[in-house]
Amino acid sequence: MAWIRRWAASTNASRRSAWASGSSVLAIGINNRTTVGLFLIAADVERQRSCRTATAQRRRYPLRSCSSASPPPTTSARRTRRAGRTSATAGSASGSSRPGAGRRTSGSATGRTSSWRAASAALDHYRELVAAIVAAGMEPVVTLMHYTWPLHVQDEGGLIGDAFPARFAAYARVVAEALAGQVRWWLTFNEPNQLVYGYLKPWWQGEYRMPPGLPAGASVEEQLRCSRLAMRALFLANARGREAVKAVRADAMVGTNPFILGLPAWLQRFLDRRAVRLSRSQGSWDASGRWRAWRPPAPGRVDLVAAELSATAGRGRDLDFSRPYRVAELRLLVPAGSPIGRAAQPRGAVVAVVRGTTAEAAAHRVLPGATLLPVADYEAALADLAAGRAAALLADDAILAGLAARDEGRWAIVGEALRRERYVVGVPTGSRDLLQVVDGVIAGDPPAPLPEAPDPGLRRVLGRGRLRAGVSADVPGLGFRDPETGEWSGQEVELVREVAARLFGDPGRVDLEPLATAERVPALRSWTRVFDPLLRWIDLLLCALDSNWWFLGIQGRLPEWLCPKGCEGQQDYVGADYYWGIPTIALHRLRQLGDSIAGDFAHAPVWPAAMRRVLREAAAMFPDQPVLVVENGSVPVASGVPRVEYLRTHVREVLRARAEGVPVEGYLCWAITSNREWGLAFGPSNDFGLYHVDLDSDPDLARVPTESVDVYRELIAEATGADPRSLP
């Protein structure tokens, strides 16, 4: 096929950043591909509600039986993202996703009514968007479902409900009828192989990394069963969605873009062959996943921590998180009468931050130009403010309110919210039963009977007869011990007392241990955690989910209980997302790979050579189909490799693969603008944008070109033979 096209689907077509020309050259573009509003949207726009942006707060639902007939509309990290000026409104979603665990621009709008049909306003929005893209000379690529779905679909069982494949097909038909006249390239699901992690939580992560998530008490068996149902549903929905699109446009190119890790070739072959062998038995398949979903809880010196603990990807490697009990905002505390009246004004001023807090980690980004003064605790910060050694204290407003209340009139909280944090209770990894009790308290659910056979973590607490809780002692309103009376008070103190009441029938059977900020995570850790890197390595070798199971199913190599008959071969091209890889399985390399999966892309392992191998293997698996690199890109610096170098080396490998005969038809760079990564606070370590946008502080969301823009423009010119001066 000889195509002349410009690949992109920028949500602002006038700012297109890449194009390709010529009948025999690779098409290169920018990936902010259009992601269509999810599913059939209620026509009554006034009654629509978007899936909640949960960077700060997750929406929860009660547990129901996890079966195809009555699946759980349960815990969810429904996090919508913006890319530049993109937003999810009135049934629309725009943008695309980031790598690994963690990335994704998506959104949906929904209302709860008894009947559903397409919202004309949403479809009109996408007609206009696609028309602008085509008018700019670019090729739109439409993703039908990008990680989230509306609440009314979840009420019917969500991804694993019986109605899901048929509902998805009906939705795909409606969207195709609206857009297929100008759209040939489609993706049914973004990274379908990652969606199973909405039902199976790796033991080294604090919470489910995909929606919808299961309740804290979900057993390993429950997680494995639900993840199997999700795999089966995805294959069915992909087949029916593809059929629906092609019924509208016969020459449509419909596929998906599984997320591919760059593993050593021998290891990937081993995993794929092992997955095929394990799939012959459902029991063997589940056994391979138990290592991923469960780790025996190892006791620390406390059973739980409720001490202004924010949920972060880094802490999630060591702890399991409850649902949020509070959402805090990062703000400034200043002496009354201070000239610092807005958060944008401390440039050049000395700002105190407590060591080990998320405020310290974010300070350089949210307060550019300020001089930071790290201190040991909040008492030291107040002393520095009083002595004039600091002009302000940066911390969560929940903490600042308590500090200000201790001496009314002396301090003032100023400025707009700089970012939001979810406060959670932390428990040792694997403490499912204790976490379920904590979640019940936070949700205000009626007390439920304790399990007859509790897991080791809860059994240890019950056997002791008392709960050990780490709390703060110096933050009024949250955790505070009166220095004169010794009395404890605050939201977090009451929370752990209620947990004790549910465990023992007595809120007094809890030992409160004051914890400094830096002690919160270590207090829950056991010395046995030094073996965690080795256990992760074993899991990598044993878990069938690390295979290319999506491609194996499309090849027809999986049994019908995973990939039903008729679902094999349901794609028109081979799509793939590749970002990170490791040439060896040395422990430090595996640690880097784990960092990338947890969302720490600044330490993600860069291995350009794997790009060419991934493309060769994809072409070998499906020899008669073109190959499309749907996502590839980097943060400003990953493991010491600047993004400009990352782009040069990876595009070079794509061109080499094409020269060797791999039918690569397109390459899309993620992403044109800064984006919000899945579940992460915005910052340089997760900003994939060629154009930087200050998503937290700039109300105009101005696009500022980075050095990568010129480099990418040069790469396009080299690949296409175009004059760089003619490129936007």
Least confident of 76-90, 486-500, 592-606, 698-712: 76-90
Amino acid identity at 110? T
Q: For residue 630, is pLDDT > 50? A: yes
Predicted confidence at residue 68, as pLDDT, reads: 30
Q: For residue 545, is pLDDT > 80? A: no
Predicted confidence at residue 595, as pLDDT, reads: 76
Q: Which residue did the predictor score with more confidence, 422 or 285? A: 422
Residue found by looking up tokens 């000026």 in the block: 85
Q: Which residue did the predictor score with more confidence, 39 or 502? A: 502
- Confirm if 194 and 259 have CB atoms less than 8 A apart: yes
Predicted confidence at residue 384, as pLDDT, reads: 95
What's the rounded Cα separation, in Å, for the pair 706 and 647? Answer: 13
Q: What average pLDDT does range 553-562 have in this prediction?
A: 94
Highest mean pLDDT among 244-258, 420-434, 466-480, 582-596: 244-258
- Confirm if 11 and 83 have CB atoms less than 8 A apart: yes
Query: Could you tell me what percent of the chain has a pLDDT over 70?
Result: 79
Dihedral of alpha carbons 78, 12, 260, 583, sign: negative
- Categorize the per-residue pLDDT at 83 as very low, low, confident or very high, splitting at 50, 70 and 90: very low
Q: For residue 706, is pLDDT > 90? A: yes
Q: For residue 76, is pLDDT > 70? A: no
What's the rounded Cα separation, in Å, for the pair 209 and 467? Answer: 29
What's the rounded Cα separation, in Å, for the pair 150 and 36? Answer: 13
- Confirm if 690 and 715 have CB atoms less than 8 A apart: no
**Strand 326-335 vs strand 420-423: parallel, antiparallel, or unpaired?**
antiparallel
Predicted confidence at residue 112, as pLDDT, reads: 38
Letter string b/e over residues 141-155, b meaning 16 or more CB atoms within 10 A of that residue's CB: bbbbbbbbbbbbbbe
- Categorize the per-residue pLDDT at 218 as very low, low, confident or very high, splitting at 50, 70 and 90: confident
Q: For residue 253, is pLDDT > 90? A: yes
> For residue range 656-673, what is the model confidence (pLDDT) as tens digits?
999 999 999 999 999 999
Closest CA to 375 of 403, 396, 355, 351: 355
Q: What average pLDDT does range 582-590 have in this prediction?
A: 83
Predicted confidence at residue 413, as pLDDT, reads: 93
Q: For residue 84, is pLDDT > 70? A: no
What's the rounded Cα separation, in Å, for the pair 477 and 491? Answer: 6
Closest CA to 541 of 200, 273, 297: 273
Q: Which residue did the predictor score with more confidence, 611 or 685? A: 611
Q: For residue 558, is pLDDT > 50? A: yes
Instruction: Decide: residue 466, CB within 10 A, 0-12 exposed, 13-18 middle, 19+ buried.
Output: middle
Predicted confidence at residue 638, as pLDDT, reads: 95
**Strand 637-638 vs strand 641-642: parallel, antiparallel, or unpaired?**
antiparallel
Q: For residue 107, is pLDDT > 50? A: no
Q: For residue 568, is pLDDT > 50? A: yes
Q: For residue 594, is pLDDT > 50? A: yes
Q: Which residue did the predictor score with more confidence, 287 or 675? A: 675
Q: For residue 196, is pLDDT > 50? A: yes
Predicted confidence at residue 529, as pLDDT, reads: 63
- Confirm if 208 and 147 have CB atoms less than 8 A apart: no
Q: What average pLDDT does range 515-542 have in this prediction?
A: 77
Least confident of 3-17, 235-249, 696-710: 3-17
DSSP sequence for 108-153: -EE---SS----HHHHHHHHHHHHHHHHTT-B-EEEEE-S---HHH
Q: Which residue did the predictor score with more confidence, 55 or 137? A: 137
What's the rounded Cα separation, in Å, for the pair 661 and 214? Answer: 45
Predicted confidence at residue 24, as pLDDT, reads: 36
Q: For residue 56, is pLDDT > 90? A: no
Predicted confidence at residue 460, as pLDDT, reads: 93
CA angle 665, 668, 670 (to 5 degrees): 165
Q: What average pLDDT does range 347-357 have in this prediction?
A: 91
DSSP sequence for 407-451: TTTTEEEES----EEEE--EEETT-HHHHHHHHHHHHTPPP-PPP
Amino acid identity at 157? G
Predicted confidence at residue 170, as pLDDT, reads: 94
What structural domains does the chain harbor? 7-291+533-726 (3.20.20.80), 304-323+424-525 (3.40.190), 327-421 (3.40.190.10)
Predicted confidence at residue 46, as pLDDT, reads: 25
DSSP sequence for 247-311: HH-TT-EEEEE-EEEE--HHHHHHHHHHHHHHTT-HHHHHHHHHHHH-------SSSEEESS-B-
Predicted confidence at residue 27, as pLDDT, reads: 60
Q: What average pLDDT does range 76-83 have in this prediction?
A: 31
Q: How are the residues of the chain apportioned to helix, strand and coil, as percentages rounded to the nearest 5?
A: 35, 15, 45
Max Cα separation, the chain?
Answer: 82
Predicted confidence at residue 50, as pLDDT, reads: 31
- Confirm if 463 and 434 have CB atoms less than 8 A apart: no
CA distances in angstroms from 673 to 85, 103, 290, 605, listed in the order given: 9, 14, 39, 22
Predicted confidence at residue 362, as pLDDT, reads: 87
Predicted confidence at residue 716, as pLDDT, reads: 86
- Confirm if 108 and 38 have CB atoms less than 8 A apart: yes
Least confident of 92-106, 117-131, 314-328, 480-494: 92-106
Q: What average pLDDT does range 102-114 have in this prediction?
A: 34
The token pair at 283 is: 């029991």
What's the rounded Cα separation, in Å, for the pair 294 and 711? Answer: 45
Q: For residue 113, is pLDDT > 50? A: no
**Strand 253-257 vs strand 185-190: parallel, antiparallel, or unpaired?**
parallel
Q: For residue 415, is pLDDT > 60? A: yes
Q: For residue 143, is pLDDT > 90? A: yes
Cα 133 off chain centre by: 28
What's the rounded Cα separation, in Å, for the pair 461 and 625? Answer: 57
- Confirm if 193 and 123 have CB atoms less than 8 A apart: no
Closest CA to 106 of 130, 87, 129: 87
> For residue range 424-481, what is the model confidence (pLDDT) as tens digits?
999 988 888 899 999 999 999 999 999 888 888 899 999 999 999 999 998 899 999 9
Residue found by looking up tokens 């004051």 in the block: 514
Residue found by looking up tokens 């699901």 in the block: 189
Helix (H, G, I), strand (E, B) or coil at 76: coil
Which are the contacts of 52, defined by CB distance < 8 A and separation ≥ 6? 59, 78, 80
Q: What average pLDDT does range 18-23 have in this prediction?
A: 29
Q: What average pLDDT does range 696-717 have in this prediction?
A: 91
- Categorize the per-residue pLDDT at 379 as very low, low, confident or very high, splitting at 50, 70 and 90: very high
Does pTM surpass 0.85?
no
Mean pLDDT, the chain, integer:
81
Predicted confidence at residue 278, as pLDDT, reads: 84
